[in-house]
Amino acid sequence: MRQDKCSAFGARLENPAATAQIHGMAESLDDATLTSPHTVPGRYWHRLDDGRVQCDLCPRFCKLHAGQRGLCFSRAATEDGMVLTSYGRSSGFCVDPVEKKPLNHFLPGSAILSFGTAGCNLTCKFCQNWDMSKSRDMDRLADAASPQLLARAATDLGCRSIAFTYNDPTIFLEYAVDVAAACKSVGIKSVAVSAGYITPEPRAEFYRHMDAANIDLKGFTEDFYRTICGGHLQPVLDTLVYLKRETNVWFEVTTLLIPGLNDSDAELEAMCAWFAENLGPGVPLHFTAYHPDWKMRDRERTPASTLQKAQTIARKAGLRYVYVGNVHDKQGSSTVCHQCGQILIGRDWYVLSDWNLTADGHCTACGKKMAGVIDGPPGIWGAKRRPVRLRDFDRDGPKHNQPVFART
């Protein structure tokens, strides 16, 4: 597979159409960033014969001179190697229903503490979180957020898990795995919301620390990934197969359907056939509705009929748990027993309306096990979204918020 290359002032895909969509090409590091306590040594890189540093974290393989940032903006080259410039700086803290990630089979009804940083290693024209993922302003990350403080906040807020979301946690791997470790020490589970665009060695480290994930499968053609997302399809498929075959991570998959781009019958049939063969019938698949955003505002919202068509195609391919999202569809978002047809979990948006499972996840009518992570009765968080000011949970003062260097 062709490797994308990063050169002066940013990552420029060899494909001109993809190059044109990249705004805010990677900037030079300033002295304040270099000396910031939020800049820590990065992993997964090597030095090239010409003196540049190649980042090996994701399939972009950015090649950078000292002082240059990669396309993701969070990682940069120095004279000594690669650094992460956003360790312990985050934003967007809020408590959500876990179903919003979306995860329908992981501790249903429970609360999850969500947050993100800035930047992304893909350049999706339709990005629904562009204000954070496309940000080139680290000052927007107003809250200092050490791993220990995040674990404390999640505990005090009654959350059962924490989500790395809004932008892709791949690009802040060192920070994410430290947060996950701190959370694990107090019984909080970790959830990655990711595009799965990561290389094998860091992928193994990253998911060793995750309990659950939702992976965006943005389309099912190389052309869509190359021209619309600025990446490639195969690394994402590799991540999905890796999660299924080589980990115990509970994962679900989301595809945002965009009218005229990735919603044809042929593409959906091919995707669902691959899904059934490689991931099996028990991995949940979410089809969600697109709305015009970021640099793709020339297309209409996804009609409900398209989502329902996709759901039918997926079920015909043998998939048991197929959902529609970003639209109000109680039937399309509820979980049904694949053996007897009873509603196992009824959902009205993010509110659980029915619950017909035992404490360990078996159908109360026929006894068939539902795939997922079920631990006792459902949570009662509902559809609430609670913004969080992280400093309210800092009982140790400013020193507590100083990030530590990422552990190996």
Which class does domain 91-387 fall in? alpha beta
pLDDT of residue 405: 32
Where the chain has pLDDT below 70, the residues are: 1-28, 31-32, 130-142, 294, 396-408
d(CA 408, CA 405): 9
pLDDT of residue 134: 57
Residue by residue, DSSP assigns 273-327 as HHHHHHT-TTS-EEEEE---BTTB-SSPPPPHHHHHHHHHHHHHTT-S-EEEESS
Instruction: Give domain limits for the chain.
Output: 5-84, 91-387
d(CA 121, CA 197): 8
User: Which residues neighbour 264 within 8 Å (Cβ) at sequence distance 6 or greater?
Assistant: none
pLDDT of residue 353: 95
**Three-class DSSP category at 224:** helix
d(CA 403, CA 66): 24
Q: Residue by residue, what is the 3-state secondary structure of 142-164? A: CEECCHHHHHHHHHHCCCCEEEE
d(CA 271, CA 221): 9
pLDDT of residue 33: 75
pLDDT of residue 144: 82
pLDDT of residue 407: 33
